[in-house]
């Protein structure tokens, strides 16, 4: 019942090389790479040249190749390759979260029409089998939230910041270790985390959302003073991709969060990734694994290849009638906003202010903001401002009485 797999590989970078080695070392799989297409004919390769080609059609027009593994960086070139592969009746395994997030609906449709699979476990959470688990395991349990540290570079930088390592030094080191994207703004401004969130939202809630409509705010603005504040309060700062049910809507975004030491993610450090899934019956579940690097990502690619032996395909069982959907942006969340400049903080419209600290060198303000208001700022570019989400449940826009009443109570307490 196992299909013999003949693989055409696009890209021979960190993950591609890892896959080649892993595939050679793993004995249980009936699969082999028969051609590798790369862009740069002059680049020196770690293996013999006989498998290499520089023309994509050497794979795409080869009828003996039944699986295309796409591991290149350029997401638009990747899309062209994958589209053509699916149309030629080849299965596709990809780790390209940007490409998938941006062309999600078309890719799913193409795979369906051509009766082939497109699998992308390696695109989210590296070695963590989160797509497969969301797809297979939670399909009948009422999922309420998915929250993850899904970018190794930023988690590495944030972890190192606890030890006083500067942002620049930590980013340099992450690049050396092979965690960082070629364009580091994809990592540090939360774009990579956002593309992954788009994939998680589809498999968790059945919704396809457009990346451009999803808010992403990264870690570039986080100052040593914010890290110091976190330490004093027993928090750590983690960049979360999160989506959850809020009444009948789904809300979701990427932003730095303070987490307490009773949170699953508190101890998830460096290049490790973690995803917490909350569901009505199974309650909270945590998946932790290495989210970046050659072998962990290659092992996820390998797992997809292996699944193709058994004709596996995502069923998208949670898909709702309206395929393209919107996240709900009208809700409230509690945040910390820090800056050297009080006037910068004052630009953020607070619905309710709970704490104000002004310290001369550094200032912060804590309180409730309307997500819609925050989303209208390009926070990644407001370098003198850092916004970090506090661990309080969101409040829906039709429940603001609660916030108001508490505010009145709070103010009257102060007056007494």
Distance CA(112)–CA(222), nearest Å, equals 44
Helix (H, G, I), strand (E, B) or coil at 333: strand
Instruction: Single out the residue of 20, 205, 295, 350 in contact with a copy of itself (rule: CB under 8 A).
Output: 295
Distance CA(409)–CA(401), nearest Å, equals 12
Residue 141 touching a copy of itself (CB under 8 A): yes
Residue number with CB closer to a copy of itself (263 or 352): 263
DSSP state letters, 357-411 = EE-SS-EEEEEEEEHHHHHTS-GGG-TT-EEEE-SS--EEGGGHHHHHHHHHHHH
Token pair for residue 55?
Answer: 């023309």
The residue range among 36-44, 45-53, 161-169, 307-315 that interacts with a copy of itself, by the rule CB under 8 A, is 307-315
Question: Is 196 designated active site?
Answer: yes
15-44 binders of a copy of itself (CB under 8 A): 18, 22, 25-26, 28-29
Residue number with CB closer to a copy of itself (175 or 306): 306
Residue 137 touching a copy of itself (CB under 8 A): yes
The pair phi, psi for residue 32, each rounded to 5°, is -145, 150
Least distance to a copy of itself from the beta carbon of 281, Å?
A: 4
Per-residue x/- track, 243-282, a copy of itself (CB under 8 A): ---------------------x--x-----------xxxx
Least distance to a copy of itself from the beta carbon of 304, Å?
A: 10
Sheet bearing 52-53, strands edge to edge? 52-53, 31-37, 5-10, 67-70, 91-94, 118-119
Residue 382 touching a copy of itself (CB under 8 A): no
The residue range among 48-56, 76-84, 99-107, 137-145 that interacts with a copy of itself, by the rule CB under 8 A, is 137-145
Residue 315 touching a copy of itself (CB under 8 A): yes
Instruction: Single out the residue of 4, 40, 44, 310 in contact with a copy of itself (rule: CB under 8 A).
Output: 310
Instruction: Single out the residue of 73, 84, 114, 133 in contact with a copy of itself (rule: CB under 8 A).
Output: 133
Other C-beta atoms closer than 10 Å to the C-beta of 41 total 9
Other C-beta atoms closer than 10 Å to the C-beta of 151 total 34
The residue count for binding a copy of itself (CB under 8 A) is: 45
Residue 142 touching a copy of itself (CB under 8 A): yes
Instruction: Single out the residue of 34, 139, 225, 344 in contact with a copy of itself (rule: CB under 8 A).
Output: 139
Give the contacts of 6 (CB within 8 A, at least 6 positions apart): 31, 32, 34, 64, 65, 66, 67
Spell out where 230-389 has E strands. Answer: 235-246, 249-260, 272-279, 283-290, 331-339, 350-358, 363-370, 386-389
Q: Which of 196, 223, 238, 290 is catalytic?
A: 196
Q: Which residues bind a copy of itself (CB under 8 A)?
A: 18, 22, 25-26, 28-29, 127-129, 132-133, 136-142, 264, 267, 279-290, 295-296, 298-300, 302-303, 306-307, 310, 315, 317-318
């Amino acid at each position: 019942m196992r299909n013999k797999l003949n693989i055409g590989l696009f890209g021979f970078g960190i993950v591609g090389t890892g896959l080649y080695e892993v595939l050679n070392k793993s004995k249980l799989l009936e699969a082999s790479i028969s051609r590798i297409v790369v862009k740069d004919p002059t680049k020196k390769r770690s293996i013999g040249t006989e498998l290499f080609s520089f023309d994509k059609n050497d794979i795409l027009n080869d009828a003996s190749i039944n699986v295309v593994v796409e591991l290149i960086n350029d997401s638009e070139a990747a899309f062209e390759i994958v589209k053509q592969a699916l149309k030629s009746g080849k299965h596709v395994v990809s780790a390209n979260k940007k490409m998938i997030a941006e062309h999600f609906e078309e890719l799913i449709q193409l795979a369906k029409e051509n009766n082939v699979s497109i699998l992308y476990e390696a695109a989210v959470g590296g070695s963590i089998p989160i797509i497969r688990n969301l797809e297979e395991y939670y399909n009948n349990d009422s999922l309420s939230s998915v929250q993850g540290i899904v970018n190794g570079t930023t988690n590495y930088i944030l972890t190192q910041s606890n030890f006083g390592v500067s942002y620049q030094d930590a980013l340099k080191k992450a690049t050396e270790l092979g965690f960082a994207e070629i364009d580091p703004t994809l990592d540090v401004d939360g774009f990579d985390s956002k593309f992954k969130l788009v994939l998680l939202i589809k498999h968790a809630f059945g919704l396809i959302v457009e990346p451009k409509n999803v808010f992403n705010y990264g870690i570039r603005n986080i100052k040593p003073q914010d890290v110091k504040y976190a330490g004093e309060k027993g928090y750590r700062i983690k960049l979360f991709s999160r989506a959850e049910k809020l009444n009948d809507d789904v809300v979701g975004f990427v932003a730095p969060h303070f987490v307490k030491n009773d949170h699953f993610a508190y101890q998830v450090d460096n290049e490790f990734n973690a995803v917490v899934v909350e569901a009505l019956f199974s309650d909270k579940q945590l998946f932790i694994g290495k989210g970046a690097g050659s072998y962990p990502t290659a092992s996820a690619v390998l797992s997809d290849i292996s699944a193709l032996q058994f004709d596996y395909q995502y069923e998208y069982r949670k898909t709702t009638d309206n395929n393209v959907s919107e996240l709900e942006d009208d809700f409230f969340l509690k945040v910390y906003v820090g800056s050297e400049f009080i006037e910068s903080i004052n630009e953020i419209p607070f619905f309710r202010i709970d704490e104000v600290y002004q310290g001369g060198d550094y200032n912060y303000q804590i309180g409730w903001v309307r997500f819609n208001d925050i989303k209208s700022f390009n926070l990644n570019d407001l370098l003198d401002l850092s916004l970090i989400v506090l661990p309080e449940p969101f409040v829906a826009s039709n429940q603001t009485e609660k916030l108001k009443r508490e505010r009145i109570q709070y103010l009257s307490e102060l007056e007494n």
